[in-house]
Structure 1
Amino acid sequence: MGPNKTGKESGTDVLQWHEMKDMWQLMAPVVFPPGLLDTTESDVKGLIDLLDLNPTDRVLDLCCGYGRHTLEMSSRGYDVVGVDINDYFIEQARKAASEENLPAEFRIGDMRKFCEPDSFDVAINMYGSFGYFADYRDEILVLKNIYKSLKSPGKLLIDLWAKKIVLQLFPQRSEMESGRGLYVIESNVIENETKLRTSWKLLDRNGIWHEWVSVQNLYSAGELEDMLEECDFSGMKTYGSFKGTEYDANAERLIMTALKQ
């Protein structure tokens, strides 16, 4: 099953995120807008502080995308490995590492299958990169793989859109022009406020609509903590931003840290 590119009034295929490689490449200008780079340095500074990292820590950036956090951590001297299923993103990340003369390592891998026992001091999962699997067992499998891949003791940080934040912001519709055409993004909450459905559309310069639909699971802080406990993590702490602010009504994100003892 692949993306629908068949006409101006195209139907829609509902895909799992890992099947949407063409979509991520075509939609990169809206998924990863230029201004996003401006937050990378502060994100990394924040996660270093929240996790109290040591300079010698080996870090796994799971679902690294095109590697902006991986590269920033590498520039700060960390031994860091970025993993993503999208070969296009990994290609771009490797190119950037080479151009910047950074030793960051990038690998193509499915987060449900990636597991290197006792190999990392720290794992990070950034920018809402958790919650895309329809089967709850796959979500748990990812967390169990992270747990196994961490040394003991080890640390995890997950950065998500929180359910309560999403409920305040959506439904939402946005448009943006770029060299490729007109982007239209429409998102709404479905299934008793448990999932975020997003329609990603591109009207290209030939007048053809390209459309994909993604569905992401929404988790509250309590639900995420329960999942981590199910996978033997402990010592969970919750924050509302990378500045370490409280997770309250003004929270920007749901950021949770956890420990492998």
Structure 2
Amino acid sequence: MIDERTQAESEFVRQLLELPPGDELLDLACGHGRLSNRLAAMGCRVTGLDSSATFLRHARADAAELGVEVAYVDGDMRELPWQERFDAVLNWFTAFGYFSDAGNRRVLSEVHRALRPGGRFAMELNNIVELLPRYRAHVVHEVGDDMMIDHHRMDPLTMRSIVERVVRGGQVRRIPYAVRMFTAPELRDWLHQSGFTDVSFRGEDGEALNAGHSRMIALATRV
């Protein structure tokens, strides 16, 4: 059964990118295929790329259960194997910003190269203006006897949120990671420098971005 939130979000993405049936879409850092498989069910020809073999196994299993075809690829978004292939590229739910600045810029250049002229790119990230006032050093998630604790630290010199995630579920695991945070003007500059035009920003409701939105959606077009 498809949950209503995923279905609504998939339809939102389809409208945002103006995807008619038959358009070729790359879901970059597709995770377990939550959006890829639903967009394929709407008639898009979808390719999903992720570096996690575990996520890709889940994505393929979900596609089989839904009866849709998606080309899932194990790969690095800094080295895309396509040129002028896609009508649109999707990068959703803070799936950008985990490399060095040079590496992150390389991702944008690779997306630009993978898009056909006139192709559209959508990125969905944290809206740092809304996030900072409620940024917390510790966030605890509990599900039954399992617990996940995120220890956060914002580095103002690099604008990275540095996190150590401690997971307790039978055994304790410590998972460090960091994600780059962006303001809209900075990300606009990066997109322009990568060759994109018509860069605009919206919130999670599709309206023009404001300080109250928790999510920031960047939309850009390849010349």
**1:247 aligned onto 2:209:** yes
**1:158 aligned onto 2:123:** yes
Residues 96-245 of structure 1 mapped to structure 2, 5 A cutoff: 96-133=62-99, 135-178=100-143, 181-192=146-157, 194-205=159-170, 208-241=171-204, 243-245=205-207
CA distance in 1, matches of 2:65, 2:59: 10
CA distance in 1, matches of 2:127, 2:70: 30
- Residue 55 of structure 1: how far off its partner (Å): 1.8
Deviations 1:49-69 (A, max 9, x none): 222222221000000000101
Q: Which residue of 2 aligns with 1:13?
A: none
Residue 228 and residue 115 in structure 1: after superposition, are their counterparts in 2 closer, same or farther (change >3 A)? farther
Q: 2:24 touches 2:86 (CA, 8 Å); kept in 1?
A: yes
Q: 1:115 touches 1:146 (CA, 8 Å); kept in 2?
A: no
Unmatched tracts of structure 2, length 5 or more: none
Q: 1:74 touches 1:104 (CA, 8 Å); kept in 2?
A: yes
Structure 1 range deviating more: 98-107 or 79-88: 98-107
Unmatched tracts of structure 1, length 5 or more: 1-36
Q: 1:238 touches 1:256 (CA, 8 Å); kept in 2?
A: yes
Which of 50, 53, 58 is matched with 2:24 structurally?
A: 58
TM-score normalised to structure 1 length: 0.80
Q: Which residue of 1 aligns with 2:9?
A: 43
What SS does the corresponding residue of 1:131 show, helix, strand or coil? coil
| CA RMSD between the two structures | 1.7
Q: 2:29 touches 2:77 (CA, 8 Å); kept in 1?
A: yes
Using CA pairs below 8 Å that are at least 6 residues apart, which structure has the higher relative contact order?
1
Q: 2:131 touches 2:214 (CA, 8 Å); kept in 1?
A: no
Report the AA paired with residue 108 of structure 1.
Answer: D
Q: Identical aligned pairs, as a percentage?
A: 24
Report the AA paired with residue 139 of structure 1.
Answer: N
CA distance in 2, matches of 1:112, 1:179: 38
TM-score normalised to structure 2 length: 0.93
Structure 1 range deviating more: 66-75 or 176-185: 176-185
Q: 1:83 touches 1:107 (CA, 8 Å); kept in 2?
A: yes
Runs of 4+ in 1 over 4 A off after TM superposition: none
CA distance in 2, matches of 1:48, 1:77: 10
Question: How many residues are matched?
Answer: 221
- Residue 95 of structure 1: how far off its partner (Å): 0.9
